[in-house]
Chain A
């Protein structure tokens, strides 16, 4: 079992009105010194079996075709924890 994390963020050139709204609320809550906020999505995939290159390639494809809309979003795929079974 392993957890693969896909992080999806709006591309830097795409305006993020939600992030801006969060940023504007910060001073009101007493948080100073935060000049920018960007809001994204995090997907945690619990994967059965080994996360080998083939599995990662499939997840990459899934992220590119479904989890992210690459017209406006970038994504990263990383393996968070691998529990080695029966060494």
Chain B
């Protein structure tokens, strides 16, 4: 028995296959989930992957957030289901108010695609236990709307509670406040980030390292040991 991890495909999702592959490489079983399906098929965790769900119409993630699959997911995430949102998935999680803040257009207005250095700030979430706090990793970043914003009060609260999970290092690629690349909810089961760990799981591709793989091995260990 291994863990079953769902990957939701919305119209416009791009990285569902890569995410499934990363889950498989980590040793878990990927389960394809469809946006119109309210049923999560008894998965043990869910990844919302990158792309441009519903064409990013209105705001990135704004329409996906109201899809049938999200109704069930929001309910279960609040009850403890581990959920990871990558890029567009992170945007969907903020639109769903499962994570605080939101994403604006990159401050320089350009789409950006680069190998990004990050610091793992919180290695205690469901998705980060295979890292150590303070560890520096390189994973790809590619987005148009990646500028993380929240009000000062929320930012202070996130910092105080250790909920800034990842920070951009050396270079802030999009104007994100306090260099925030990803955050976690209070319980640590819902995590979102803009960079793409699923693209850095094999030495041949991505950044030439496997710095993204621990996301998927972390959740697998948590689920199998549970």
Q: Are A and B genuine complex partners?
A: yes
CB contact between B66 and one of A15, A21, A66 (< 8 Å): that residue:
A66
Report yes or no: B108 in contact with A72, Cβ–Cβ below 8 A.
Answer: no
Report yes or no: B108 in contact with A69, Cβ–Cβ below 8 A.
Answer: no
A contact residues around B107 at 8 Å (CB)? 15, 17
A contact residues around B150 at 8 Å (CB)? 71
How many of B's residues come within 8 Å of A, CB to CB?
Answer: 19
CB contacts between A and B, total, < 8 Å: 33
Report yes or no: B149 in contact with A69, Cβ–Cβ below 8 A.
Answer: no
A71 to B100, CA, bound (A): 9
Task: Determine the interface band of chain A, counting residues with CB < 8 A from chain B.
Answer: 10 to 19
Say yes or no: A72-B104 contact (C-beta < 8 A), given A18-B109, A21-B109, A67-B58: yes
Question: Is B214 part of the contact surface with A, judged by Cβ < 8 Å?
Answer: no
Report yes or no: B101 in contact with A71, Cβ–Cβ below 8 A.
Answer: yes
Question: Is B133 part of the contact surface with A, judged by Cβ < 8 Å?
Answer: no
Question: Is B185 part of the contact surface with A, judged by Cβ < 8 Å?
Answer: no
Report yes or no: B149 in contact with A14, Cβ–Cβ below 8 A.
Answer: yes
CB-nearest residue of chain A relative to B151?
A: A71
Kindly supply a per-residue 1/0 record for chain B positions 55-71, scoring 1 wherever the CB is within 8 Å of any chain A CB and 0 otherwise: 00011001000100000
B contact residues around A69 at 8 Å (CB)? 59, 62, 95, 102
Interface residues of B in 73-107 (CB under 8 A from A): 94-95, 100-102, 104-107
**B residues adjacent to A (C-beta < 8 A):** 58-59, 62, 66, 94-95, 100-102, 104-109, 149-151, 175
**A residues adjacent to B (C-beta < 8 A):** 14-15, 17-18, 21, 66-67, 69, 71-72
